[in-house]
Amino acid sequence: MIVTGSSKGIGKDIAFQLMARGARVGITGRDTDALRMLHKEAVSNGWRCDTYTVDL
């Protein structure tokens, strides 16, 4: 599952809710540093995700 605009706000909240429920999520956004931090947080919670820096 891919959630666009995941580096902040509603997109981040949706991605985290999905991962908390066991989904493997592709998180996308324009801010590479923010995505890197989100990935680190997700992994520390035992969740699986992939990050993609894109401007959709």
Distance CA(41)–CA(5), nearest Å, equals 17
Q: What is the average pLDDT across 10-36?
A: 95
pLDDT of amino acid 10: 95
How many domains, in total, are found in the chain?
A: 1
Distance CA(20)–CA(18), nearest Å, equals 5
Range of the domain at 40: 2-53
pLDDT of amino acid 27: 94
pLDDT of amino acid 51: 95
